[in-house]
Structure 1
Amino acid sequence: MQLSVLDISIFVAYVLTIIGIAWWVSREKAGHEKNTNDYFLAGNSLPWWAIGASLIAANISAEQIIGMSGSGYQIGLAIASYEWMAALTLIIVGKFFLPIFLKRQIYTMPQFLEQRYDHRVRSVMAVFWLGVYIFVNLTAVLWLGALAIHTISGVDILYGMIFLALFSITYSLYGGLKAVAMTDIIQVVLLVVGGVFLTYTVLTLIGDGGGVVSGFVTLTRELPEKFDMILAPSNPHYKDLPGLSVLIGGLWIMNLSYWGFNQYIIQRALAAKSIHEAQKGIAFAAFLKLLMPLIVVLPGIAAVVLIPDLERPDQAYPSLLSFAPSGLKGLIIAALIAAIVSSLASMTNSISTIFTMDLYAKYRPGLSQHHYVLIGRVASFSALAVAMLVAQPLLGQFDQAFQYIQEFTGFFTPGIVTLFVLGMFWGRTTATGGLVAALGSALFSVALKLLWPELPFIDRVGVVFVLCVMVAILVSLLGQAPATERSVELKDINFSTRPGFNLSALAVVIILVAFYGAWW
């Protein structure tokens, strides 16, 4: 693919703009030095629009754009359930989970677990999340991002990973979460505008002079099987998206874990000015999630018509860029890189937060704020270095990396959701009960995968969740009741929400009913 001088100029301007804005928002007033609250929680100063944009920028990365477009190419619109059901999940998180977390004034999810349970749970889950973030999430974003750069420009995948890592460090390492969140506003605008333009371009080509609507109608007529939202058991991809389970089964468990208890996602809301700003940001993000399939899934389906002989589904999105005109191509590439580096920056910032606050500061207390911020920066850099080393061995052999990531994390999400939900809403849950459920999740998942291999992984997540809840309740009832001060006193939590949030929730539900009604 040939990039024009205009394309390259647009991309270079984007890189310089992001770095410049990040350094500008990261500057300190005379006499003030960054402390841990500044670096990890942006000084609790984020407004709703920054929270909403940053939530989406952290979420939409290479695994969504490249991986989900690949799944759109392979499976069809049904993969959009991950996006659309996430919108409703965000509303639930904003209504029921955020008030509890913000009341506790926490930095990290493991910190909440120590407040609710004990130090054992905090340490175990901190180590677990560090492993998953580095060896699954960070490696996936680096690998798929570098794969996209390779497809677009021919640059070696290793050099692509080095570029992405250095770019994300350049604008995020000094400023911390504030630099990440504020630049994410530009990243999301680029992502939406670039993605919409690419969708417009490919549909116009398929329409053959009839415009975007004609292109969409042609696509649905030529590929009707790609527009089934609820797959029948006879569908060859039923095991990936098993029918109604995407609406009432294990997908809920995966979404609640990701949007409610995932550090690099929820950290933005923890940094809000107030609970109401956080909830407005959550609602804003929910509407953006409804838009995402237009940007990431529909182009993948269009690629079936335009580029039917791809070697790998994950090549769909990068290959479509060859159809974009000069200038627009540079904008779309900038949008793609924006999504990748914003996720890298978000993940490394959260990795540094968990490592510093949950492990390092726990065992080396009383040191200066400057020291802890420095340790956080070192942790960010080290995590990226490790991820680059292991990315190719872990992900190089998969055709649909998005599906691989979902299945792998599905081994652990049932236990995580059990640990948090019972901890928040059932005061009798003990630390041992929660920990057994969290650790048992992987054992139950592996056992079911080996003994019942034909069970779709989303259904397996639902079954394992039920088993984890049963085990947690049984172990808790057999043990001594936890101390009263460790319980979450729900009567002290204000779950009421403002009219604007309630109207947003209603609108999300209506839109989802319309979508699923149209493509059932």
Structure 2
Amino acid sequence: MISTTDIIISICYIAFIVALGFWAGLSGKKDGAAAGEYFLAGKSLKWPMIGMALFATNISCLHLVSLAQSGFDTGLLAGNFEWMAAFTLILLALFFIPFYIRSGVATLPDFLERRYNRACRDWLAVVSVVSAVVIHIAFSFLAGGIVLETLFGINMFTSIIAIALVTGAYTIVGGLRAVVVTEAVQTIVLLTGAVIITVLSWWKVGGWQPVMQVLQDGGQLDKLSMLHSSGDPSGLPWYAVFLGYPVIGIWYWCADQTIVQRVLGAKDENHARTGALFCGFIKVLPVFIFILPGLLAYVLYKQGHLDLEVLRQADGQLHTKGIYSVMITKLVPPGLVGVLVAALLSGLMSQISGALNSIATLVSYDLYKRNRPEATDQQLVKTGRIAAVLALLLSIGLLPLLNRYESLFNGINDVISHIAPPITCVFLLGVFWKKASSQAAQYTLWIGSALGAGVYLLGKLYPINIPPLMVAFYLFVVCVVLQVMLSFAFPMQHTAESNRLYWESPLAPLRVKGWPGLANYKVLSTVLLLMMAVLYWVFR
């Protein structure tokens, strides 16, 4: 339990964010542009806000909780999901953003229709809504509920419903502008809280030498390595990272509406590209401020400086889902606990608000307006708000099912690994291969999604010892072969619009001049690539 002062700090923070969200959403409205303002912030976002909003939408309370748990259980290994994101953000900036911005689309299913056909748009819209509800909202609610129950002693479902009401209020009323403005603030608060817990853990451990000593004595120096060998018990060998992560990473960062919507609201192509790359630089931080604290908690536990009996189950095993909450209550002095709780709430609220706005956009533009092309802006906004409310209710209903995963981080990656392959396939081939045809993409989405669902269900009934990332890679290979074969069987008949939505060569995106100096997207991409290469060499 936490002190009254910390509770007051937490409540004041929530009140501030809600007020800021309402102010940002309502003050940005313009007559005659209700839908554009609500869903895409009037396409006025600049690169710092885009970068921070991308990061805030990605890093939720789920990540704070699950990455700390992963740090405790397996060390820095889970950091691959953070650092590999930098490479996919470079792909987003170089190859995907130009088409998204130039085509003026409001949603990624809209882009898929322009490149392929309407059937592809409809399927992606449905899958995107489902994935937003499950991955971005339900899992985040679950993580938030676990933390708040541990800290405040409040029933998990009660706290989740309260957060849903608070976050849903300003998001549903204010739209994307409210989401992005609050996310910018929440990113700062979240990072501040994460740095505080990292510094306090580091101070309590006593520096790097005790960490090395504990790990060496326990024969677990591999906890400091990002790349593990084949057959590693963690289930994440190095080849799975480099083969499987790009499959889920390209879907998540380049083809998922919840994430990419921040880019679609950019002022222009340069702001969109720089914002994505800025997020790539920020993604270096989670390994050191989200995962490392979990590893330090493991060291403190082994040193006898951190009591984890509250996490011990009836069978004597530690239930490490709540490790981050214990660290807050055991390591952080009163007064700062409120800041840490605010950071957790920041991650939870930003993730949920971003997903709700994306669901509203998808349902309004890709489902409602398709059947009612004469719909007014007011009708589109109203439909989006109703969709957001229904999404909240559905996500809460899924919580008992998702809570069966022992590790939240493994759970979310397991689900993504079965959803992403066909979507990654049709986007990649659509952008890089002229002959990728409409019917081939349509059948690949249908068959690939059905195959992914079947493999997921089969894996639950008859568990197999294959890392989820390798499952994603195998499914992706099947989808690529399928789409290539079908593209030859059903050749593409390009329209004037689709003929402009693929690259003639991989070097074509680099011919755009961009901003001068260090702000140039080519310079930033090169620096980011070099920085990631050095980091992987150091922590190999």
TM-score by length of 2: 0.90
Indicate yes or no: 2:319 matched with 1:312.
Answer: yes
Higher alpha-carbon deviation: 134-143 or 149-158? 134-143
* 1:24-173 correspondence to structure 2 within 5 Å: 24-28=23-27, 32=31, 35-173=34-172
Q: Is the 8 A contact 2:92 2:253 kept in 1?
A: yes
Indicate yes or no: 2:531 matched with 1:511.
Answer: yes
Q: Is the 8 A contact 1:413 1:441 kept in 2?
A: no
SS at match of 2:283: helix
- Corresponding residue number in structure 2 for 1:454: 465
Residues 61-93 of structure 1: CA deviation (Å, up to 9, x unaligned): 122111222122222101100000101211121
Give structure 1 stretches of 5+ with no counterpart.
none
Assess, with a 3 A threshold, how the Cα gap between structure 1 residues 403 and 20 changes in structure 2: closer, same or farther.
same
Cα separation, 1, equivalents of 2:184 and 2:131? 27
Assess, with a 3 A threshold, how the Cα gap between structure 1 residues 160 and 417 changes in structure 2: closer, same or farther.
same
Shift of 1:118: 1.2
Shift of 1:505: 2.0
Cα separation, 1, equivalents of 2:502 and 2:523? 28
- Corresponding residue number in structure 2 for 1:327: 335
Q: Is the 8 A contact 1:63 1:140 kept in 2?
A: yes
Count residues in correspondence.
511
- Corresponding residue number in structure 2 for 1:490: 503
Letter in 2 for 1:283: L
Assess, with a 3 A threshold, how the Cα gap between structure 1 residues 459 and 465 changes in structure 2: closer, same or farther.
same
Cα separation, 2, equivalents of 1:432 and 1:219? 58
Higher alpha-carbon deviation: 295-304 or 249-258? 295-304
- Corresponding residue number in structure 2 for 1:251: 245
Cα separation, 2, equivalents of 1:252 and 1:277? 24
Shift of 1:29: 7.2
Residues 421-450 of structure 1: CA deviation (Å, up to 9, x unaligned): 111221221222112222333455445976
- Corresponding residue number in structure 2 for 1:360: 368
Q: Is the 8 A contact 1:28 1:34 kept in 2?
A: no
Letter in 1 for 2:483: A
* 1:358-397 correspondence to structure 2 within 5 Å: 358-392=366-400, 394-397=401-404
Higher alpha-carbon deviation: 323-332 or 217-226? 217-226
Cα separation, 1, equivalents of 2:110 and 2:85? 25
Letter in 2 for 1:418: C
Cα separation, 2, equivalents of 1:19 and 1:30? 17
Report % sequence identity.
Answer: 27
Residues 370-390 of structure 1: CA deviation (Å, up to 9, x unaligned): 111111111111110111122
Assess, with a 3 A threshold, how the Cα gap between structure 1 residues 126 and 368 changes in structure 2: closer, same or farther.
same
Q: Is the 8 A contact 1:149 1:160 kept in 2?
A: yes
Letter in 2 for 1:327: G
Shift of 1:307: 4.2
Cα separation, 2, equivalents of 1:274 and 1:447? 41
* 1:466-505 correspondence to structure 2 within 5 Å: 466-485=477-496, 486-487=498-499, 488=501, 490=503, 495=510, 496=512, 497-498=514-515, 499=517, 500=519, 501-505=521-525
Assess, with a 3 A threshold, how the Cα gap between structure 1 residues 20 and 242 changes in structure 2: closer, same or farther.
same
Q: Is the 8 A contact 2:136 2:351 kept in 1?
A: no
Cα separation, 2, equivalents of 1:190 and 1:219? 32
* 1:259-298 correspondence to structure 2 within 5 Å: 259-298=253-292
SS at match of 2:174: coil
- Corresponding residue number in structure 1 for 2:305: none
Shift of 1:219: 5.9
Cα separation, 1, equivalents of 2:173 and 2:463? 49
Letter in 2 for 1:185: A
- Corresponding residue number in structure 2 for 1:21: 20
Higher alpha-carbon deviation: 130-139 or 364-373? 130-139
Shift of 1:8: 2.1
Letter in 2 for 1:95: L
Higher alpha-carbon deviation: 286-295 or 428-437? 428-437
Assess, with a 3 A threshold, how the Cα gap between structure 1 residues 225 and 478 changes in structure 2: closer, same or farther.
same
- Corresponding residue number in structure 2 for 1:8: 7
Cα separation, 1, equivalents of 2:530 and 2:332? 34
Give structure 2 stretches of 5+ with no counterpart.
303-307, 312-317
Assess, with a 3 A threshold, how the Cα gap between structure 1 residues 480 and 233 changes in structure 2: closer, same or farther.
closer
